[in-house]
Structure 1
Amino acid sequence: MANVSWKTLIKPVSQSKEFKPGNAGGMSASARTAQGMDKALVAFKAGNKDVKRPTIIKKGDEVKFSVRYANQALKLDGKDGEFVVPADKFEEIYGAIKAAIVAGEFDSQLAPMETKSKDRGAKMVAAKAAKK
């Protein structure tokens, strides 16, 4: 093994542009929502075995789902947070919704959710610092 001077190579996370707390990897709210949708779809296809509260559930020939960001459901139709679609059309519909999110169609809804999430995170950091 090479003799590496690890002490000169490490740095605190706060000095990283990629992993800095509050940076969320530089992801926009729409990108983070799309990533969450991908994870929910993978969990659904695997039978939701390791999911505490699944956002996609199939019952009979219908699938119930919600699209979430910062622990809140997006109001895809402007008023409702949960939806039901025919099971055979689910992935096509879900993909179209994801494309709309990535295209920015829900940015006006995501912006206040993102602000609220960042504020909550800042309060948690402040509370943790106050305990030290």
Structure 2
Amino acid sequence: MDWKKAVKPVGEFADFKKSAPRTQKTAAEVVSAAIEKQIELFNKPKAEGRRWFEVKGENVAFSIRYANSPLKLVGDEKTVVVPKAQFVEVLQSIKADVEKGEFKAQLDAGEAAVRKRSATMAATRKKK
């Protein structure tokens, strides 16, 4: 069989055309979605996923991360502990603060680092 006669360009098929361009999410949107994922992982302990928290006894230690770095939550503290019974409520409150702009300076710095890293990677790929 001559496979070159059997295949056709993907552009000829509407089902395979690229969808609308992705809209870039803000750092706050990314962190908010990630916090929701952490709540889901906490409620389903057997589910797969990277956890930002560790449960020991009746307490939970956790951090909130963006661009692979933890945010400063209280003063310079990046990891804090809360009673297990209040964990979900605390995460929802932090999410609300993220959406209100409470962590804007930290998220902007993380976003700048992500853009710089992406630009460096793109330049490296171009050289190859």
Do 1:64 and 1:85's aligned partners in 2 also have CA atoms closer than 8 Å?
A: yes
- 1:54-73 correspondence runs (5 A): 54-73=51-70
The one of 83, 86, 100 equivalent to 1:86 is: 83
Do 1:33 and 1:68's aligned partners in 2 also have CA atoms closer than 8 Å?
A: yes
Q: Note closer, same or farther for the CA distance 1:57–1:32 as it changes in structure 2 (3 Å cut).
A: same
- 1:52-131 correspondence runs (5 A): 53-131=50-128
- Over the matched positions of the two proteins, sequence identity in percent amounts to 32
Q: Give structure 1 regions of 4+ aligned residues with deviation exceeding 4 angstroms.
A: none
In structure 2, distance between residues paired with 1:33 and 1:126: 27
Q: Note closer, same or farther for the CA distance 1:126–1:37 as it changes in structure 2 (3 Å cut).
A: same
Indicate yes or no: 2:45 matched with 1:47.
Answer: yes
Do 1:41 and 1:56's aligned partners in 2 also have CA atoms closer than 8 Å?
A: no
TM-score by length of 1: 0.78
In structure 2, distance between residues paired with 1:61 and 1:37: 20
Unaligned runs of 5+ in 2: 1-9
The one of 25, 28, 35 equivalent to 2:26 is: 28
In structure 1, distance between residues paired with 2:90 and 2:70: 17
Once the two structures are TM-superposed, the CA of residue 49 in structure 1 deviates from its matched residue by 4.6
Unaligned runs of 5+ in 1: 19-24
In structure 1, distance between residues paired with 2:25 and 2:91: 21
Q: How big is the alpha-carbon RMSD for the aligned residues of Structure 1 and Structure 2?
A: 2.1
Once the two structures are TM-superposed, the CA of residue 57 in structure 1 deviates from its matched residue by 1.7
Once the two structures are TM-superposed, the CA of residue 129 in structure 1 deviates from its matched residue by 2.0
In structure 1, distance between residues paired with 2:95 and 2:27: 12
State the number of aligned residues. 117
Aligned to 2:4: none
Once the two structures are TM-superposed, the CA of residue 28 in structure 1 deviates from its matched residue by 0.9
Q: Secondary structure at the match of 1:26?
A: coil
